[in-house]
Amino acid sequence: MIRIQNLHKSFGTQEVLKGVDLEVQQGKVLVIIGPSGSGKTTLLRCLNLLETPTKGVLRISDVQLEFGEGRKPKPSEVLALRKKTGMVFQAYYLFPHMTALQNVMEAQVQVLKKSKEEARRVALELLNKVGLGDRADFYPHQLSGGQQQRVGIARAMAVSPDVLLFDEPTSALDPELVGEVLKVMKELAREGRTMVVVTHEMKFAAEVADRVVLMDEGIIIESGTPDQVLNHPSSDRARSFLNRIA
C-alpha cells in the first residue's frame, strides 16, 4: 500500500530525513518511534505532502511520485496522492465554529463533492463508530479532548482514505483520556485499516503494530516486529533510547 524509497527532506541547510526506505502492506499497522527531533513527524507529513520531499520516490496505492533533481509533481498528482490519506494531528484541529457532525461532513462536501444528505449519513455512521453518535450536534468546545480527538479520527476517515496517518494522536491529551482514543485506533487496526502511527505509547506499539521502526537523526536505525525492535534491538543507539523511555 505504501512504498517509500530513498526519501530525503531538508529545511534550508538542515537535512532532516537522510534517505528513508519503508514499506507498509495493505491492512497493516506501522508504528514509528524515536527521540524528539529524529524526523518522525516530517516523515509522516511527507506521506501526505504537507511537506514536499527534497528527493526520493513515494508511492501510495496506485499513485507514485518522484522528487528531486528537477522532478516536481503536478498539482493534480499531489491532489491524487493526498486523497489517499487521512491525517489525525497531535492537537485536534477541528473547525471551532462547526459541530462534530459538520466537521466530519466538511471534506466530503468540499473535496468529494458529495450531497449534504449523503455526507450527513456517512458522518453519523462514523461518529457512531468512534462512540460519539450522541454528540453529533456538539461544538468542539463542548467536548473533552478525547472526544475531540475521536471526532478528528472520524473526520480523517470521512474521505475514505486508503491509509490513515496519526501524528502523536494522544500526546496532547490528559492521561485519563488517552485510553478512549487508543481504543478507537485498536478497533480500526482490527478492521484491517492500513495505518501509520507516530507515538510514544509503547504499549500500543507492542500490542497493535505489525511492524515498528525506530528513527534517529533522520534515518531508520531499527525495523522489525514489535518484539524485535522493542525487546531485542540490535544497535546501542536503539537500546539507549528504549532504556531512556522505559
| Chain residues in the site for ligand ADP (CB under 6 A) | 11, 16, 34, 36-42
Determine the Cα–Cα distance for residues 19 and 34; give it in Å rounded to an integer. Answer: 16
Least spacing, CB of residue 120 vs ligand ADP, in Å: 36
Least spacing, CB of residue 198 vs ligand ADP, in Å: 6
Which C-beta is closer to ligand ADP: that of 119 or that of 209? Answer: 209
Cβ atoms of 51 and 9 within 8 Å: the answer is yes
Determine the Cα–Cα distance for residues 214 and 57; give it in Å rounded to an integer. Answer: 20
Q: What is the DSSP string of 82-108?
A: HTTEEEE-SS----TTS-HHHHHHHHH
Strands 29-33 and 194-198 come out as parallel
Least spacing, CB of residue 176 vs ligand ADP, in Å: 25
Least spacing, CB of residue 218 vs ligand ADP, in Å: 8
Which C-beta is closer to ligand ADP: that of 37 or that of 192? Answer: 37
Dump strand ranges (E) for the chain.
2-11, 14-24, 29-33, 55-60, 63-67, 85-88, 163-167, 194-198, 211-216, 219-224
Which C-beta is closer to ligand ADP: that of 38 or that of 149? Answer: 38
Which C-beta is closer to ligand ADP: that of 16 or that of 124? Answer: 16
Least spacing, CB of residue 161 vs ligand ADP, in Å: 21
Which C-beta is closer to ligand ADP: that of 20 or that of 100? Answer: 20
